[in-house]
């Protein structure tokens, strides 16, 4: 049998060479990779056994991490393997260990690289307020958020704090100072990290997706305190539309504030909501579709009145300002021939 560390390095290298984004290992199946949105077996590989997965896991997890995995039955972390950086999800299915590896590019992409709409640059002109990056899993939220942070890092002199679980992209301070804090390693909870930001000299804060609902809800009031002060907050949320994003934020805030106060606070601090979706590009690769909600007077009024459901019509009638619905963005990709209708 091939040495587990060599086997893992080889298949991860093969995935990277094929421009794959994810590798999945499960007992009884060959290694599976995702390339350009397609899920296919890695050519020339045999079925993965439980022994192989267990030995592979021991090559990149510390003894303490192995104990934690056995206790919690699931572990998400970032590791450098075979000169590449991966977000790894180790978990159990049918009582057997399984692994997934998501490739994290070594270079942070720019707005142009991601083909982000020009209006996204305006998000960063404010010195305070809330920018929300939304989408489903594997929609590129963190990649887009990293592009925003790197733009601040290159163009402004700011003290930037990131709160991540785990840290994916690594920033090198340029004209700004970027300090990255990982939950569990550098700070115990999101709430503690936000308390630090509230009591320190901080200009911008990035918070990646808070997966625990209770932690998310308890963090919302602190997020709003930061954004209403002299701090720009970039928040990542798992949701598939601007309406669902704002409903989720208000639900969390309303646990600590009267609902009317929550609405008025949100209307005051919101800068924009960018919701995105990755779809298969014709000929290979992925294309990015966006929904953009900008907080203009009409949006503020609807939020204050609690008429969140009417925001979709405002998006449709405010295209000249840079707003666009996800449906329109997808249709643009179809009409340009970049994607097929059946792949949307």
Question: pLDDT tens digits, residue range 253-299?
Answer: 999 899 999 999 999 999 999 999 999 998 888 999 999 999 999 99
Higher pLDDT, 344 or 198: 198
CA distance 247 to 267: 13
Q: From edge to edge, which strands make up the β-sheet containing 232-238?
A: 177-182, 159-164, 204-207, 232-238, 129-135, 270-280, 286-294
pTM beyond cutoff 0.75 = yes
> pLDDT tens across 21-58, in order?
999 999 999 999 998 888 999 888 889 999 999 999 99
Reply yes or no: is the peptide bond before residue 163 cis, omega within 30 of 0. no
The backbone torsions φ and ψ at residue 122, rounded to the nearest 5 degrees and listed phi first, read -70, -20
> pLDDT tens across 218-253, in order?
999 999 999 999 999 999 999 999 999 999 999 999
CA distance 79 to 91: 16
Region 160-184 average pLDDT:
97
The Cα-based distances of 40 to 212, 337, 339 in angstroms read 31, 25, 20
In the predicted structure, residue 84 carries a pLDDT above the cut 90:
no
Region 145-160 average pLDDT:
97
The backbone torsions φ and ψ at residue 111, rounded to the nearest 5 degrees and listed phi first, read -55, -45
In the predicted structure, residue 1 carries a pLDDT above the cut 70:
no
197-221 as b/e: b if 16+ CB within 10 A? beeeebbbbbbbbbeeeeebbbbbb
In the predicted structure, residue 189 carries a pLDDT above the cut 80:
yes
Instruction: Output the pLDDT for position 45.
Output: 86
Instruction: Output the pLDDT for position 204.
Output: 98
Instruction: Output the pLDDT for position 19.
Output: 86
Instruction: Output the pLDDT for position 124.
Output: 95
CA distance 66 to 90: 10
In the predicted structure, residue 324 carries a pLDDT above the cut 60:
yes
**Neighbouring residues of 115: CB distance < 8 A, sequence distance ≥ 6:** 288
Region 172-186 average pLDDT:
96
Which runs of consecutive H residues, i.e. helices, occur in the chain?
4-17, 50-60, 63-72, 111-114, 141-155, 190-199, 213-228, 242-253, 259-269, 297-305, 311-317, 326-335
Region 142-164 average pLDDT:
97
Which pair of tokens denotes residue 168?
């994916």
The backbone torsions φ and ψ at residue 76, rounded to the nearest 5 degrees and listed phi first, read -115, 125
Looking at the DSSP bridge assignments, the partners of residue 255 are none
**Neighbouring residues of 10: CB distance < 8 A, sequence distance ≥ 6:** 2
The pLDDT-based confidence of 171 (bands split at 50, 70, 90) is: very high
Instruction: Output the pLDDT for position 18.
Output: 85
Instruction: Output the pLDDT for position 38.
Output: 86
88-103 as b/e: b if 16+ CB within 10 A? bbbeeeeeebbbbbbb
Three-state DSSP at 108 gives coil
Three-state DSSP at 193 gives helix
Higher pLDDT, 222 or 1: 222
């Amino acid at each position: 049998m091939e040495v587990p560390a060599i086997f893992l390095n080889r298949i991860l290298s093969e995935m990277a060479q094929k421009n794959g984004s994810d590798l999945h290992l499960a007992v009884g199946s060959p290694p599976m990779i995702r390339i350009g949105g397609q899920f296919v077996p890695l050519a020339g590989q045999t079925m993965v056994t439980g022994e192989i997965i267990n030995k592979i896991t021991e090559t990149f997890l510390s003894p303490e991490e192995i104990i934690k995995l056995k206790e919690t039955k699931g572990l998400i972390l970032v590791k450098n393997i075979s000169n590449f950086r991966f977000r790894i999800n180790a978990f159990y299915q049918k009582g057997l260990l399984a692994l997934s590896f998501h490739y994290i590019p070594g270079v942070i992409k720019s707005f142009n690289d991601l083909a982000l709409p020009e209006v996204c640059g305006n998000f960063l002109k404010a010195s305070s307020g809330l920018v929300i990056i939304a989408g489903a899993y594997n929609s590129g939220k963190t990649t887009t958020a990293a592009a925003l942070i790197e733009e601040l890092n290159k163009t402004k002199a700011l003290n930037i704090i990131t709160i991540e679980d785990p840290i994916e992209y690594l920033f090198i301070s340029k004209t700004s100072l970027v300090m990255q804090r990982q939950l569990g390693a550098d700070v115990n909870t999101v709430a503690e990290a936000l308390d630090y930001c509230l009591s320190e000299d901080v200009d911008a804060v990035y918070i990646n997706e808070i997966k625990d609902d209770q932690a998310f809800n308890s963090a919302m009031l602190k997020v709003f305190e930061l954004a209403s002060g002299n701090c720009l907050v970039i928040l990542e949320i798992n949701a598939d539309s601007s309406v669902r994003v704002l409903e989720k934020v208000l639900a969390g805030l309303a646990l600590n504030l009267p609902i009317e106060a929550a609405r008025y606070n949100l209307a005051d601090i919101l800068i924009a909501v960018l919701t995105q979706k990755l779809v298969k590009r014709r000929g290979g690769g992925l294309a990015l579709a966006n929904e953009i909600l900008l907080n203009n007077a009409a949006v503020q009024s609807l939020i204050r009145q609690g008429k969140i459901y009417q925001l979709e019509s405002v998006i449709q009638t405010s295209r000249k300002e840079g707003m666009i619905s996800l449906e329109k963005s997808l249709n643009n990709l179809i009409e340009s021939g970049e994607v097929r209708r059946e792949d949307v």
